[in-house]
């Protein structure tokens, strides 16, 4: 076995990690997560609830306030909760609402109008991702479901006081589970580059879903239409008709549709559809237009997605740091590899990304996320270009260190800890806007 190769057990652990973190999702994952908990509680209740009480962490509230709910033409939590109770199926995971019909939406509107839903801030939790739903029936029966830390991780389910599921959290913030492998960027790279191709081919589904999302977005007018603007004559005149502009357009198109609530599935990463788009579309577009082989494209996709998973393990599913910072760092690694870069050049790309984008705030999921994704992926391309020239932000500059994993930990410490006050201020502004 070569020095850089991993054991079969390590490869199997990484494959399990990727398959858990890279999954299809319909709609923004924060309101969908709430719909998922509602669906589970309703299933335990065994009937349509007469009252639904929902308690949410601040980050869930922030990310669910201004985003479209698939297939409804509506924005925000109440319709997601109503449809979770009326039509949701918890077995679908983050596609919990995929069976929704226009008739279901009308029933959901009526459910909301009857004042059955109560939403409040869960001030007693330290978790940034926390959802608690209690569904009550007119006969006095009730059922509850709680999700924390990960968008699909149920930590407790009860029915009339009887515990159906109890899976307490371990430690704080980190999404790493006991049986998960401890990653480094070197391990991420080694797996993506040396694993047998048949073991990683499943990542091609990310390409299929997210390319299709970008294509279907062009068939309508979603969000701020940033992706379409980049491909129109004015956009081509200003940005050119290049690999770079095509990367930005494909990424923005998929985000435009998703944030506007289109019933279009995307492949998510670490609980975020936008992160999945950001880790996928730039790599796929570059590989196609750079005439890379299919194997090179698949390995670059795996490198991109696994890099994002590695960073998010420590950062947590939700934070004050915009997720596109993490996911576009992954895509920069993938693009650098497709340019012919080696591990050292990939570390350069990561350091360049951290030096540039650290501090970009998350102010909720919304149509303008497409703007942030284009900022992230444009930096991904620039960082890869610099890396291939041997140019890298040095350890005497800012938060960058000689060791790439320490540089990543510096990014995480800022996003997970130092920006907590920023997070609180963002939510305060969002919940007290006038007009």
Report the alpha-carbon distance of residue 99 to residue 92 in Å, rounded: 10
Angstrom distances, CA of residue 59 to CA of 105, 310, 319, 331, 420: 26, 21, 7, 25, 11
Question: 383 in helix, strand or coil?
Answer: helix
* CATH code, 177-431: 1.10.4100.10
What pLDDT score was predicted for residue 316? 87
Looking only at the bridges linking them, the beta strands covering 74-75 and 51-56 are: unpaired
What pLDDT score was predicted for residue 176? 56
Per-domain residue ranges of the chain: 25-166, 177-431
What pLDDT score was predicted for residue 92? 94
| CATH class for the region spanning 25-166 | alpha beta
Question: 428 in helix, strand or coil?
Answer: helix
CA angle 39, 305, 289 (to 5 degrees): 120
What pLDDT score was predicted for residue 179? 65
What pLDDT score was predicted for residue 317? 81
What pLDDT score was predicted for residue 275? 96
What pLDDT score was predicted for residue 1? 44
pLDDT tens digits in sequence order for the chain, 435 residues long: 454 678 999 999 999 999 999 999 988 889 999 999 999 999 999 999 999 999 999 999 988 888 889 889 898 899 999 999 999 999 999 999 999 999 999 999 999 999 999 999 998 898 999 999 999 999 999 999 999 999 999 999 999 999 999 998 876 655 556 667 889 999 999 999 999 999 999 999 999 999 999 999 988 999 999 999 999 998 889 888 999 999 999 999 999 999 988 889 999 999 899 999 999 999 999 999 999 999 999 999 999 999 999 999 999 888 889 999 999 999 999 999 999 999 999 999 999 999 999 999 999 889 999 999 999 999 999 999 999 999 999 999 999 999 999 999 999 999 988 998 998 899 889 888 876
What pLDDT score was predicted for residue 181? 87
Query: Measured in Å, how far apart are the chain's first and last C-alpha atoms?
Result: 64
pTM for the model stands at: 0.90
């Amino acid at each position: 076995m070569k020095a850089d190769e991993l054991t079969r057990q390590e490869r199997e652990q990484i494959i399990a990690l990727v398959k858990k973190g890279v999954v299809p999702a319909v709609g923004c994952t924060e309101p969908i997560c709430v719909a998922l908990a509602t669906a589970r509680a309703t299933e335990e209740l065994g009937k349509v609830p007469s009252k639904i009480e929902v308690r949410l962490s601040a980050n869930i509230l922030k990310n669910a306030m201004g985003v479209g709910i698939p297939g409804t033409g509506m924005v925000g939590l109440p319709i997601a909760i109503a449809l979770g109770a009326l039509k949701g199926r918890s077995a679908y995971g983050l596609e919990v609402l995929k069976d929704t019909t226009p008739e279901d939406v009308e029933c959901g509107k009526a459910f909301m109008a009857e004042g059955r839903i109560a939403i409040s801030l869960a001030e007693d939790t330290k978790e940034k991702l926390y959802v608690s739903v209690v569904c009550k029936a007119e006969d006095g029966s009730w059922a509850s479901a709680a999700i924390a830390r990960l968008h699909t991780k149920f930590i407790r389910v009860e029915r009339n006081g009887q515990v159906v599921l109890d899976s307490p959290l371990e430690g704080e913030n980190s999404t790493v589970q006991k049986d998960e492998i401890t990653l480094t960027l070197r391990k991420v790279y080694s797996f993506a580059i040396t694993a047998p191709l048949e073991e990683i081919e499943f990542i091609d589904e990310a390409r299929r879903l997210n390319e299709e999302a970008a294509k279907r977005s062009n068939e309508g007018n979603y969000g701020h239409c940033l992706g379409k603007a980049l491909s129109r004559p004015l956009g081509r005149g200003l940005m050119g008709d290049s690999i770079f502009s095509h990367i930005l357009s494909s990424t923005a198109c998929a985000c435009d549709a998703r944030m506007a609530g289109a019933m279009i599935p995307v492949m998510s990463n670490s609980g975020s559809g936008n992160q999945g788009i950001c880790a996928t579309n730039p790599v796929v577009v570059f590989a196609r237009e750079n005439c890379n082989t299919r194997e090179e494209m698949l390995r670059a996709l795996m490198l991109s997605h696994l890099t994002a998973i590695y960073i998010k393990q420590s950062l947590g599913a939700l934070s004050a740091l915009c997720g596109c910072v993490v996911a576009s760092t992954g895509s920069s690694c993938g693009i650098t590899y497709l340019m012919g870069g080696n591990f050292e050049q990939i570390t350069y790309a990561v350091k360049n990304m951290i030096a540039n984008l650290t501090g970009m705030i998350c102010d909720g999921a919304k149509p303008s996320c497409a703007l942030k994704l284009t900022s992230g992926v444009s930096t991904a391309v620039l960082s890869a270009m610099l890396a291939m020239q041997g140019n890298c932000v040095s350890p005497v500059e800012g938060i960058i260190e000689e060791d790439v994993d320490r540089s990543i930990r510096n990014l995480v410490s800022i996003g997970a800890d130092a920006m907590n006050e920023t997070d609180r201020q963002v939510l305060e502004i969002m919940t007290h806007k006038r007009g």
